[in-house]
Amino acid sequence: MSSFGNSPTLSKEIGPVTVGQILMMVIAFALGLVIISAAGFTGVLVWVIVAIILYMLPHLAGAKPATKAVFGVLFVVIGLVLGAFVIGPAFAKDNSTTHITGNGIDANITYTDAEITFTATYSGTDTHDMVICYSEVDYISFKNAYLKNNINSIPTSAMTHSGDTYTGTVAVDSSKLYYVFLAFLNDDGKVNTSAMSHVTLTYFDYHGNVSDYTVKGAIWAVGMVAVFFFIVLGVTTFMRMRLAATRKKMEAQGRLYPQGYGRCNFCGAIVLPGQVNCPKCGAYIDRPESMKPHKKDYFVCSVCGCEVSPDMKECPKCGAQFDGEENVVTHKDGTSDVSEETKTCPNCGKSIPANSARCPNCGKKFE
């Protein structure tokens, strides 16, 4: 497939690719970024899905393996830049706030170099203890932050409670990035994750470089997609090369026609190896010279136009009997014809044996 669909616009070539291929690569690129950003996690399933999309859409448009390889490299480079320096930092900034609300909690957070302090007012009905929870961020992959360890919460003894107002402070390392949120404890003393307030990153007073986290996350996500993409590309390319080598070997053995010669040029019917005339419309199958025996080693049956080797006593196509002399055909009624003389086919203008009942070049039948 060298073009995309039947549209002249999509089939228009721009250098080594077509407009359709460029369009499909743009769609694949956008889908890949959306899936990586929107997925609630990064894992083998997400990586494989994105890799297959990046491979299949350009493939359906007829892109060659080299084109797909270049596209894969471009996705890696552009994806890394966008994830590390555009999408990731924007996600961190959009999810960083000093004001947290949700589940009846209205809290203000203060960040300093060494601690996080919050003051929250609770208007709900939960009677359990409220705690401030935090966890160090491991990396930020596009629009997802992944934590380095389990959720930590400050002990209730460090909290003060006056009416509906709660106050608490937790010591943190300002050189690290944290997830911070407020929640209630269950009866067993564990955090009730279903009653958490909105999560926030401690981005405002973070003294490090957020790109340290976003670069790591982009490399992890895009890198794993690239691994699976090039595995798919390598395996499929290897299989296609093996198939092409096998076909070439079968063509050399005469077991298959070369590509483009497996169908009749007139009606499109399938033509099997060894068939000289189309089984559907009767048109002559003009095989390439590389598949024909040397001219001195065969003659043409004057009844059906089939190429016949000199050692054959009967035409493999129509069954005409030969008497053993080159170009002499013995018909079933006992008469014989010699095909040394030639005539011009009125249809294609080729020189053909004078006693041919059909032109071996164009398939024209004669009265």
Answer yes or no: do 53 and 185 share one domain.
no
Answer yes or no: do 33 and 89 share one domain.
yes
258: in domain: no
273: in domain: no
284: in domain: no
The residue out of 150, 176, 202 marking a domain boundary is 202
The CATH number assigned to the domain holding 178 equals 2.60.40.10
62: in domain: yes
Strand runs labelled E in 9-89 = 13-14, 17-18
Answer yes or no: do 195 and 105 share one domain.
yes
Site of tokens 């401030």 = 132
Is the pTM higher than 0.85? The answer reads no
Residue 1: the pLDDT is: 44
Answer yes or no: do 88 and 105 share one domain.
no
**120 by DSSP, 3-state: which?**
strand
Answer yes or no: do 125 and 81 share one domain.
no
Answer yes or no: do 321 and 176 share one domain.
no
272: in domain: no
Q: Which domain holds residue 22?
A: 8-94+214-243
Q: Which of 290, 269, 266 is nearest to 279 (CA)?
A: 269
Residue 290: the pLDDT is: 59
d(CA 222, CA 216): 10
d(CA 337, CA 209): 95
Answer yes or no: do 136 and 165 share one domain.
yes
Number of domains in the chain: 3
Answer yes or no: do 89 and 103 share one domain.
no
- Cβ-proximal residues to 284 (8 Å cutoff; 6+ apart), any chain: 276, 277, 278, 305, 358, 359, 360, 361, 362, 363
Residue 226: the pLDDT is: 97
Residue 205: the pLDDT is: 64
Looking at the chain, how many residues does it have?
A: 367
Q: Digits of tens for pLDDT over the chain (367 positions)?
A: 445 555 778 888 888 899 999 999 999 999 999 999 887 666 889 999 999 999 999 999 999 999 999 999 999 999 999 999 999 999 988 888 888 888 888 989 888 878 888 899 998 888 888 888 888 899 999 998 888 877 788 777 788 888 889 898 888 888 888 888 888 888 888 888 787 777 777 766 677 889 999 999 999 999 999 999 999 999 999 999 999 899 888 877 767 766 666 778 788 888 776 677 788 888 877 766 556 555 455 667 777 777 777 677 777 666 677 664 445 544 445 555 555 567 788 888 877 666 666 666 677 777 6
Answer yes or no: do 88 and 221 share one domain.
yes
